[in-house]
Structure 1
Amino acid sequence: MKTIISRWLSRDPDPNTRYELQRLIDSQESAELEDRFNGRLEFGTAGLRGIVGAGPNRMNRLVIQETAIGLAHYLKAQEHDAEFRGVVIGYDGRPDSKQFACDAASALTAHGIKVYLTIRVAATPLVAFGVKHLGAAAGIVVTASHNPPAYNGFKVYWGNGAQIIPPHDSGIAAEIDLAAQQELHLMDLEIAHQQGLLVWLDDDFYQEYRRTMNENPLLSNHTQPDGISLAYTAMHGVGANMAETLLHDAGFNHVYSVAAQREPDGAFPTVNFPNPEEPGAMDMVIAEAKSHGATLACANDPDADRFAVAVQLDNGEYKMLTGDQVGVLFGHYLLSHAKPEQNLVGATIVSSSLLEQIAKSAGANYYQTLTGFKWLTNVGMKQETETSQFLFAYEEALGYTVGSEVWDKDGLSALVAFAQLTAELASNGQTIWDQLEAIYREHGLYLNAQQSIALDPAAPPIGDKLRANPVMQIAGQIVLQTDDLKSSKRTFQDGTVEDIDLPESDVLIYHLDSGARVVVRPSGTEPKLKCYYEVVEPMIHEDTLEHAQQRAESAMNDLILQHQASIAS
């Protein structure tokens, strides 16, 4: 290992990480050195993400340079015009992000690939937009999204504007491994600019995204925007300027930003965990909404690709909507406003099944994918036809895309669309809660929950156990259908089998006779089973939403309790 560490020190361009590594060597912190040098930060379909620090198993300048060189080699091998088309690069507000973006640009231009580099921080959806808009061969965003301050990341888009999927991830990873063993070739960015290999994306680029969103027919519902007000937080991220601008363009003049969280700050000083789903993360924007009596309390995560919202209740308090609730509200709203041929909507296997029912009711087409927005957009492109154009897709983890201007989740356009949805309801004397109740009355109240079950590390793989002993009942309910994504087979209660058109994945989905669903997915990194539950509670005419909700929650608690007990036995 001494040789590996010495070589790393000789290649590392950053005096800070060289000093950090030398300190670990001098203090003989062998366990820490082993952790940093026993393997390399894995490049996958989400690119890279990890803690910033010295060594190949951390995020640092050398890892970024080697990764970008590997990407350059892969692009040139796969795309004959990659050098001419180039790569779009943007970055978030974390301390190292701009430097990492510049390092990536230095590596790509040194290998003859043109780079479009944003002149300042950019929301992730702007880069996804830029790949399509500029006809680039790929895109890179340096961001750790909503991860804690110690993290950073390197997300890669392919030339179609969507996040990479297999086989590109493994192909790039193989080239990175080769690049790590070769001499580094980098180009000074000033020289690259002089040679036409570096193009700075200045304000015109940001304004082009703005114009495109303003011209999106799905964001053109300007029904009494002054009828609602909203509080907004960028959560110390990069979304505030564009979010506020788009809302103003759409006529929303009563917007109150949380000043303490408005500017980019990678230390995230006012939140323990800058993820809108985490307890406490929305406290400041809800307090801002309360102080103004606002209709909505809205948030983007730090790279502005996710959208979260809390809605005012009759008593003046605020309640968060789940990602599934926002998704079905969007699906219902957009299907009633889009052109007839724009009727393709999608969700992931762990998102609510309610969107499928809404699509059926509207005569629209629905598709389902594995978890991850990369699947939603790549599959959505393939599913499109002239008579069934892409409209909307979502995942329950607060990711939404409205239309196909951005082939990735976009928290900025989602913010505008949700404000417009809310304003239209308000113009008719209705609230978001009224709309949700109307949807539930038509289709049933769908409640979703996620739980993880800790497993015995010494026990055989849980997936093998479940497949060897097929589950016939869960919580006293008959399993009508089992979808095994590892074998790509769907087995019905009567024994008939059909193929499933989804990529292979270690996932089992059980459909129960009550309409409930259980999805189980063993973790690939630790001894636990991730379980996703869904119950469906019919609503009769005499029901109140509160009573139906109580019944659904009781059914959910019973399903979780009995299912987890059966797994543990």
Structure 2
Amino acid sequence: MIEELYQRWLNHPHIDPQLKKELAGMSEKEKQDAFYTNIEFGTAGMRGLLGAGTNRINIHTIRKANEGFARYIVGCGEEAMRRGVAIGYDNRHMSSEFARESAAVLASHGITSYVFETLRPTPELSFAVRNLNCFGGIMITASHNPREYNGYKLYDETGCQLVPDLAQQVIDQVNAVEDELAIDPQLTSAQQELIHMIGKDVDEAYYENVLSIQLNPDVNRDLVEIVFSPEHGTANIPVREVFTRAGYHFTPVEEQCTPDPDFSCTKTPNPEEKGAYELALKLAEEKKADIILVCDPDADRMGVGVLHEGEYVLLSGNQSGSVLIEYILSQLQAKGQMPQNPVMFNTIVTSDLGEKIASKYGVETEKTLTGFKFIGEKVAKYEKTQAKNYVFGYEESYGSLIKPFVRDKDAPQACLMLAEAACFYKAQGKTLVDVLNGLYAELGYYKESQTSLTLKGQEGALRIKEILDTLRKDKPAQIGGTAVVAIEDYQEATREENGVIAALEGFSRSNVLKYYLADGSWIAIRPSGTEPKCKFYYCIKGASAQDAEAKTEIMQKAIADLVA
């Protein structure tokens, strides 16, 4: 079967010449990995390695995805086709080409598209969908993944990534496409006219909205020096533009401001990893900067470094999220701007600290599955019912949303608000780490961390499934010497506590297990939706920071032994 597929691709008349060259040089092992399956088009779209084959991101698998999306739109009627699709892309290899191919496939079905003239952030694509009254959106990006990756994400008419029910309708259409190599859109002049280029008008509308989030626009900006890096990605222009217009003092890491698909001047484009901060830290030390802000390539995630007691402290996504919650909610309350029935959203793998901060200000917290689309879905729901009013949303994975004119994580918003918070607290003689330590002292000490097992290829996927299946079958009574008091299984939609199994409601089914421990800690396990990894999340509660740290080491070792 694999050899048959390989030969069909190698000898097909429509095969891209570069891919044909790659195919001709493949080893047997490379053939196996490139053709053993079709690249998964899941509820988060597609993300994978660039290259030739059915299990790769390439011009043909992109065309197949768009063929399925086009059929879905056509099925929704003429108005959906007329309103069309906004298309954005980042700095990665083949991103602009994939964006153009997406527009061409849509046009071949009579569907209008609005394609950004150059690379733009994911949050601006989400904004553009609503700003242009489109029926949907496409973003070509692999977010924070290494340079070998690219991806394809779909958005609905609210600017939110497709939630599972809608995504499944598109998936069914994609899976019905029999031959991706046969898709080769040759457009008529009338079809060409369905493709529109967009740029500065949408930029200006987006910048205006980002600047509107300021809570203290008169804060003393002279107090704080900022070092900023877009990690070669799409945050470069929007963050610098917003900072300039708002009057902040910042120095960009110029070596990382070029839109380089090879990420030549960074060890990693992922703000979750220390390697992303190396050049920024060096520049910050030279400039004696107060804070470092680092964005991932598609500008939906923001990492933070803070100068505290002479050293730079890198905050986790949970920690920077907690500081933002404290600042935003405290200022809304102080100014009398807290709305009625306020609600904050985060995910089932996000720290408990944020919920405790929200509760302090009378704000309800609602949990969702991992994936900001679920937060976007809730925003849209309450926008219609007006039963609750959004004040903040965030994930542990360095993504947050201040105001929901965007329906995805928005790093330019987060950068602007964190800069404002840094100035506000420095006027009080505090760093952002001081603020965080104050929250720990007030609400309890939490140590959040994440480990993962990278398991590539077909064997890796089977091993990840085996790990979760085994844990479901052989439920641990204790982890690291601490009793497990409850287990939530999001695939089975159950919560087991004291031997009683109850329905777990309000969530789509997902392959996630979460263990609640007797000391108030929890551990969650899930396969990554975007990388060949099994992820383990820890929210460990301690009597002190040192205690939480020590307990975390014990728990991580226990989990490693459990899944070995």
Using the size of structure 2 for normalisation, the TM-score is 0.90
Output one character per residue of 1:16-74: Cα deviation in whole Å (capped at 9) or x when no partner: 223333454xxxx4443343333322111221222222232222222222221211001
1:112 match:
110
**Code of the aligned partner of 2:119:** V
Does the aligned pair in 2 maintain the 1:13–1:61 contact within 8 Å?
Answer: no
Q: Deviations over 1:400-457 (max 9, x none)?
A: 1111011000111111011011111112222112211221121111111223469997
Of 330, 336, 339, which residue of structure 1 is paired with 2:330?
336
Q: How does 1:48-67 map to 2 (within 5 A)?
A: 48-67=46-65
1:222 touches 1:250 (CA, 8 Å); kept in 2?
no
- Residues 401 and 410, structure 2, Cα contact 8 Å, conserved in 1: yes
Query: Corresponding residue for 1:322?
Result: 316
Residue 12 of structure 1: CA displacement? 3.3
Q: 2:419 aligned with 1:419, yes or no? A: yes
Alignment pair present for 1:303 and 2:303: no
The answer to whether the 8 A contact 1:50-1:152 is kept is yes
Tell me which moved more, 300-309 or 10-19: 10-19
The CA deviation at 1:479 is 3.0
Who is 1:554 aligned against? 550
- The alignment status of 1:374 with 2:373, answered yes or no, reads yes
Q: How far apart, in 2, do the equivalents of 1:526 and 1:93 lie?
A: 19
Q: Which residue of 1 aligns with 2:18?
A: 16
Contact 1:479 1:493 in 2 (8 A): no
**Cα distance, 1:165 vs structure 2:** 2.0
In the alignment, which of 127, 130, 146 is matched to residue 129 of structure 1?
127
Code of the aligned partner of 1:312 = L
* 2:262 is equivalent to residue 263 of structure 1: no
Residue ranges of structure 1 left out of the alignment (5+ in a row): 539-547
Structure 2: gaps (5+ residues): none
Q: 2:208 aligns to what SS in structure 1?
A: helix
Distance 1:115 1:8 in 2: 32
Cα contact 2:215–2:331 (8 A) shared by 1: no
Aligned to 1:507: 512
Q: State the alpha-carbon separation in 1 of the partners of residues 242 and 150 from structure 2.
A: 28
Partner residue, 1:283: 278
From the superposition, tell whether residues 448 and 85 of structure 1 become closer, same or farther in structure 2 (CA, over 3 Å): same
Q: Who is 1:97 aligned against?
A: 95
Tell me whether 1:410 sits opposite 2:410 in the alignment. Answer: yes
TM-score of the superposed pair, with normalisation by structure 1: 0.89
Aligned counterpart for 2:207 among listed residues 204, 207, 210: 210
Q: Which residue of 2 aligns with 1:247?
A: 243
| Aligned counterpart, 1:545 | none
Are the aligned partners of 2:302 and 2:398 in contact in 1 as well (CA < 8 Å)?
yes
Q: Against the structure 1 CA distance between its residues 527 and 71, is the aligned structure 2 distance closer, same or farther, given a 3 Å change threshold?
A: closer
Deviation at residue 514 of structure 1 after TM alignment: 1.4
Once residues 505 and 72 of structure 1 are traced to their aligned partners in structure 2, the CA distance between those partners, rounded to angstroms, is 27
Q: CA deviation at 1:333?
A: 1.6
2:200 aligned partner, one-letter code: D
> Which residue in 1 is equivalent to 2:359?
360
Q: Between the two proteins, what is the percent identity of the paired residues?
A: 32
Q: Pick one of 308, 314, 318 that aligns with 1:313.
A: 308
Q: Is the 8 A contact 2:266 2:278 kept in 1?
A: no
The equivalent of 1:542 in structure 2 is: none
Q: 1:266 to 1:565 in 2, by over 3 A?
A: closer
Corresponding residue for 1:541? none
- Aligned equivalents of 1:459, 1:236: Cα separation in 2: 32
The answer to which structure, 1 or 2, has the higher relative contact order (CA under 8 A, 6+ apart) is: 2
Aligned residue type for 2:483:
I
Alignment-derived partner of residue 233 in structure 2? 237
Aligned Cα root-mean-square deviation (Å): 2.7
Question: Partner amino acid for 1:367?
Answer: E
Q: Give yes or no for the alignment of 1:480 onto 2:485.
A: yes
Measured after TM superposition, the shift of residue 228 of structure 1 is 0.6
Q: In the alignment, what sits opposite 1:543?
A: none
How far off is 1:495 after superposition?
3.6
Cα offsets for 1:152-208 (capped at 9, x unmatched): 111111112111121333322332233343853625497545x3x122102111111
Amino acid aligned to 2:293: C
Distance 1:527 1:376 in 2: 24
In structure 2, relative to structure 1, the CA distance for the partners of 1:567 and 1:99 (3 Å cut) is: closer
CA distance in 2, matches of 1:260, 1:186: 39
Instruction: Tell me the distance in 1 between the aligned counterparts of 2:34 and 2:478.
Output: 46
What is the CA deviation profile of residues 467-518 of structure 1, one whole-angstrom value per residue up to 9, with x for unaligned ones? Answer: 4454433333333332222332223337474533212223222222211112
Separation of aligned partners in 1, 2:154 and 2:176: 19
- Residues 505 and 95 of structure 1: CA distance in aligned 2, closer, same or farther (over 3 Å): closer
Higher alpha-carbon deviation: 380-389 or 122-131: 380-389
Distance 1:206 1:528 in 2: 36
- Secondary structure, in 3 states, of the residue corresponding to 1:405? coil
Letter in 1 for 2:18: N
TM-fit CA distance, 1:558: 2.4
1:148 matched residue in structure 2: 146
Instruction: Report the counterpart of residue 428 of structure 2 in structure 1.
Output: 428
2 CA distance for matches of 1:527 and 1:108? 30
Helix, strand or coil at the partner of 1:450: strand
Is contact 1:123-1:238 (8 Å) kept?
yes
Structure 2 SS opposite 1:347: strand
Aligned to 2:498: 493
- How far apart are the structure 2 equivalents of 1:411 and 1:496? 40
